[in-house]
Structure 1
Amino acid sequence: MAQSRPYYADQSLSAAHYDLITAADGRLAGDVEIYAGLIPPDGAVLELGAGTGRVTAALAERGFKVLGVDIAPAMLRQAETRRAGLAPDVAARTAFQRGDMTALDLKRSFDAVICPYFTLAHVPAGTAWRNTFATAARHLTPGGLAVFHLPLAEIMRAPGPARPDLPVMDQPLADGGRLQLHVRRRTFNDKVGRMDQVIEYVERDPKGAVRRVSPERQTYYVADPVPAAAQAGLTLDRPPIPHGGVGEFWVFTRV
Structure 2
Amino acid sequence: MTTRPYYAEKGLSAAFYDTVTAVDTRLEGDLDIYARLAPAGGRILELGAGTGRLTFALAERGFSVVGVDIAPAMLAQAAAKHAELPSAIAARVELKRGDMTVLDLKKTFDLVICAYFTLAHVPRGMAWKNTFATASRHLKSGGLAAFHLPLIDIMRLPGPAESSQPVLDQPTATGGRILLFVRERGFREDVGRMDQVIEYVELDARGQALRQSLERQTFYITDPVPLAAPAGLTPDREPIPLGDVGEVHVFLKA
TM-score calculated relative to the size of structure 1: 0.99
**Secondary structure of the structure 2 residue equivalent to 1:27:** helix
Cα distance per residue 1:47-92 (max 9 Å; x no partner): 0000000000000000000000000000000010111111110000
- Aligned position for 1:245: 244
Q: CA deviation at 1:175?
A: 1.6
Q: Look up the equivalent residue of 1:235 and give its one-letter code.
A: T
Distance 2:170 2:107 in 1: 41
Cα distance per residue 1:145-191 (max 9 Å; x no partner): 00000011011110000000000000011121110000000010000
Distance 2:233 2:111 in 1: 13
Distance 2:38 2:104 in 1: 21
Q: CA deviation at 1:212?
A: 0.6
**Secondary structure of the structure 2 residue equivalent to 1:96:** strand
Q: Look up the equivalent residue of 2:217 and give its one-letter code.
A: Q
Distance 1:106 1:48 in 2: 12
Distance 2:172 2:106 in 1: 42
- Aligned position for 1:58: 57
Q: CA deviation at 1:113?
A: 0.4
Is 1:74 matched with 2:73? yes
- Aligned position for 2:113: 114
- Aligned position for 1:217: 216
Distance 2:25 2:86 in 1: 26
**Secondary structure of the structure 2 residue equivalent to 1:133:** helix
Distance 1:224 1:240 in 2: 12
Is 1:202 matched with 2:197? no
- Aligned position for 1:26: 25
Q: Look up the equivalent residue of 1:5 and give its one-letter code.
A: R
Q: Look up the equivalent residue of 2:3 and give its one-letter code.
A: S
What is the percent sequence identity of the aligned residues? 65
**Secondary structure of the structure 2 residue equivalent to 1:134:** helix
**Moved segments of 4+, more than 6 Å:** none
- Aligned position for 1:89: 88
CA RMSD of aligned residues (A): 0.5
**Secondary structure of the structure 1 residue equivalent to 2:75:** helix
Distance 1:65 1:246 in 2: 29
Q: CA deviation at 1:44?
A: 0.4
Distance 2:138 2:16 in 1: 31
The answer for unaligned runs of 5 or more in structure 2 is none
Q: CA deviation at 1:10?
A: 0.5
Q: CA deviation at 1:122?
A: 0.2
Greater alpha carbon shift after TM alignment, 55-64 vs 79-88? 79-88
**Secondary structure of the structure 2 residue equivalent to 1:235:** strand
Number of equivalenced pairs: 254
1:168-207 aligned within 5 A: 168-207=167-206
Distance 2:58 2:240 in 1: 19
Q: CA deviation at 1:107?
A: 1.0
